[in-house]
Amino acid sequence: MNFLCISSYDNDLEWVKNYRNPHLIYDKTWNGGSYKDVIVKPSGLKQKHPNYNIVNGNPNGYNINDYMTFIIDHYENLPDVTVFMKGNTIGRHVSKEYFDRIVNSQCFCPIEDWMYLEKNKDENALTEHVCLQYPDGKKILGTYAMYSQEGGWMEMNSNWYLFHEKHPSKYFKSFNEFLKFCFVNPPEPNYVRFPPGGNFVVPKQYILKYDKIFYQNLRTFVAHAQLSGESHMIERALYTIWMCNFEVADTMKALVE
C-alpha cells in the first residue's frame, strides 16, 4: 500500500481510520493558528488519535511546506510511492469513491476528478478555482481555464494568485520567473497544468530526478508566510517539476537563503 503524507490544517481526520496505508500527518494547527482572520484553537489531534503518526507541522507555506519537509527528511529512504495530500482532499477536491480507486496506484497520478469539480461548483469554489481577480477587484469568470483531454485542470498563466494581499511573495514575481530560476530555458506556458489543491500520487523515481537541495530550496521559497505567493506558485508547478525533463539550472544546485 502507498504511503500517505498528509498536510492537515484544522481538518477532521476520522477518515484516516478507514485506510490501512502507512501515513505521516503534519498537523499545522498543533499549537492553534489563524486563517483569514479566523482564530483556530490547538487541534489536539495527537490526543484524539493516539494511534495516528502525527507530528507538529509548520504553519507557513501551505501544504507545500509539509510535502517538501517529508521529501527532505526521507530522501534517502523514500517510500516506493507517496500520496501527497491535504487533510480535506476527500470531499473537497475528489470523492471518496475516486480516492479509493487511485490511492494505491503505482503510477504518477494527479489527484483530481473533473466530473467531481463540475458537479460541486458553488459560489466559493467558483471564487477559488474559476475566477481571475485583478488588483482593482474586478473578477472575470469562465474563459480563463479549461480541461485537458485527460480531464486535468489547466489555468491561464496569469499569476492571479499573486494579486491577493494575503499571498505575499518574497522570491518571485511570476510563475515564469520561478521556472527560469529552476530550469534552463523552460517554455513560458500560456496555461499551467495542475490539480487544484496540489494532491498527487508520486512514485519515488519522479522525486529522485532532483537532488535534495532542489527540494530544500522549494521549501525555503514557500516558508516565509502562511499563504506565501510562492506556495500557490509551486502548487501550480509540481506537475511540471515531476513530469518534465528540463535541465536543472545552476541556481537550484546551491542553497538559497
The chain-wide mean pLDDT, for the chain, equals 90
Cell numbers given for 25: 500527518
Is the pLDDT assigned to residue 224 strictly greater than 80?
A: yes
Among 96, 99, 94, 100, which residue's Cα sits nearest to residue 196? 94
pLDDT at position 35: 74
Task: Give one DSSP letter per residue of 77-95, joined into a string.
Answer: G--SEEEEEETTHHHHTB-
The Cα 146–Cα 130 span in angstroms is 9
pLDDT at position 132: 43
The Cα 191–Cα 213 span in angstroms is 28
Mean pLDDT of 19-32: 96
| Buried residues in 183-195 as b, exposed as e (16+ CB within 10 A) | beebeeeeebbbb
Mean pLDDT of 142-165: 85
Would you say how long the chain is, in residues? 257
* Residue 189 phi, psi dihedral angles, 5° rounding: -70, 145
Mean pLDDT of 145-157: 89
Q: Does 144 or 243 have the greater pLDDT score?
A: 243
pLDDT at position 143: 57
pLDDT digits (tens, 9 = 90+) for 203-213: 999 999 999 99
Cut 0.85: pTM above it: yes
pLDDT digits (tens, 9 = 90+) for 161-177: 998 888 999 999 999 99
Distances (CA, A) of 93 to 44, 86, 99, 109, 197: 25, 10, 10, 14, 7
Mean pLDDT of 43-57: 96
pLDDT at position 215: 98
DSSP designation for 61: S
Mean pLDDT of 139-143: 47
